[in-house]
Structure 1
Amino acid sequence: MGKLLPVIIVLVGLLAGAGAGYFLRPAPEPEPVAEGEAAQEDAHDAGAAAPREHAAKAKTDREFVKLNNQFVIPVVRNSRVASLVVMSLSLEVPMGSADLVHRNEPKLRDVFLQVMFDHANSGGFDGAFTETGTMTILRRALLEAAGQVLGASASDILITDILRQDT
């Protein structure tokens, strides 16, 4: 019986592994559709495909414009610089609007720095400053500031790099 127990354990393990592999296998890939059938499906699914097509088009007619220099924001506590926050930003704008962003970059940097200084003074860069809620507040304020300079051109702010160096 002592020699039979390891064999039984191995068999049970193999069967359990095979069963798990069978039930957790990836879904099969969709079969390719011939052109004639695709036209029929497109006509049939036109209502369902329209939102997907619009979303894909909306993504492709946007571009990301990286602002040239980083932003350096001092975090002041007790009248002393306690840390420095360094950030890099990009703006999501309609395709072809990169020149508009670069022409207005000095104004954008000014309003962005003001927003970041206000964020730092309100404690936004203290503690776990990269929490989702804190970063959402900062992005929203930066997007609003970009809207003051660029109008409705800016649709999103991307924080590409962020670093806090405590002194």
Structure 2
Amino acid sequence: MNYFKFFNLKSLFFINKKTLSHNFKKLQKKNHPDLNISSLEKKKIALKKTTFLNRIYNIIYDKFTRINYLLFLNKVNINETIILDKYKDLERKFEIFNYLDYLKKKKKITKDEIMSLKALYNYIFSQKLYFSKKININIKEKRWFNVIIIFNKLIFLKRIEDKANEIDLLKKKII
């Protein structure tokens, strides 16, 4: 069963989210439990359908779960794939996490540190855009090993972004 087909979408990384949302709402209206009140049994069936639709909508809507699902559809198991660049740039990644931990522990951060955070956000944004495009190309070309490697990079960028967001939310005072 291909979840993309429920929403009349092609099985690609880049999707039309307006079409997804429109078709989702149409299906929800058609299957909503409150509209199927003729019997308790029909209401239960409608509830199961809408729960299922919500779950698959969220899978297709979120780019990370969409990538995982596309890999699954194409019978690619991430756990069985050996990722050669697992340790590539590991030292740099470790430095970034250490720096973010350092900033998180500080009570006040300097303007220079704020500038470095802004530069990090810009870097993350540009890299996420770049990797999203690369994933889309590799999915179209069915180069699954490359998709997994790029997907891991996107996950790492998401982790850095989340950690940087914690600092922004925690810091109240600037030197």
Q: TM-score scaled to structure 1, two decimals? A: 0.29
Structure possessing the higher radius of gyration over alpha carbons: 1
Specify which structure has the higher proportion of strand.
Answer: 1
